[in-house]
Amino acid sequence: MTKQSRRTFLDWLLRGGLTAWFASIIYPVFKYMIPPDAPELNISQIEAGTLSDFPKGSSKIIRMGRTPVIVLRKKKGDFKALEATCTHLDCTVQFKTDTEQIWCACHNGFYDVEGRNISGPPPRPLGQFNVTLKDDKVIITKKDLA
């Protein structure tokens, strides 16, 4: 081994060591900042209230696990439950009773009462939930489980 190559070797050893040392500090800090996965609360069914909580043409927002769900009763009397989070940028939507449409105030997005995006920026329809009545209880279930 010449003197020159020994020096290059030591140089690299030092640089590699410093890099590894630095990485060993950065890595935990970086990982620490990422929040741990919260277990998805596996709620597939929830009671939204009783019939008397829902006069015709009214709505209520409830929470199913981590998802806000808008439960509404049309003027004709039938129920509908949709994901309440706008597909545009995450605002919470509201039910406009007069026109029977769902409105997102953030950027003036409209959905029809079935959750289809009809005007404004929302790119996708709202997620669907099932509504069933058990005696006078209004029960909301996840679609795939119903």
- In the complex, which residues of this chain contact ligand FES (CB under 6 A)? 86, 88-91, 104, 106-107, 109, 120-122
Using CB atoms within 10 A of its CB, is residue 102 exposed (0-12), middle (13-18) or buried (19+)? Answer: buried
Rounded to a whole number of angstroms, the minimum distance from the CB of residue 18 to other proteins is 21
Half-sphere exposure of 94 (CA within 13 A, CB side): 7
Helix, strand or coil, per DSSP, at residue 84 = coil
Rounded to a whole number of angstroms, the minimum distance from the CB of residue 140 to other proteins is 14
C-beta atoms surrounding 128 within 10 Å = 15
**Spatial distance between the Cα atoms of 112 and 126, rounded to a whole number of angstroms:** 10
Q: 87, 93 in Cβ contact below 8 A? A: no
Rounded to a whole number of angstroms, the minimum distance from the CB of residue 67 to other proteins is 9
**Spatial distance between the Cα atoms of 139 and 10, rounded to a whole number of angstroms:** 71
Q: Residue 49: which H helix or E strand, with range?
A: strand 45-50
Which does residue 71 touch among ligand FES, other proteins, none (CB within 5 to 8 A, set by kind)? Answer: none
Rounded to a whole number of angstroms, the minimum distance from the CB of residue 136 to ligand FES is 33
Q: Which residue lies nearer to other proteins by CB, 68 or 127?
A: 68
Where in 121-140 is the site for other proteins (CB under 8 A)? 121-123
Among the listed residues 43, 61, 113, 139, the single contact to other proteins using CB under 8 A: 61
Q: Which residue lies nearer to ligand FES by CB, 71 or 126?
A: 126
Binding stretches for other proteins (CB under 8 A) = 33-35, 38, 61-63, 66, 68, 84, 86, 88-94, 104-107, 117, 121-123
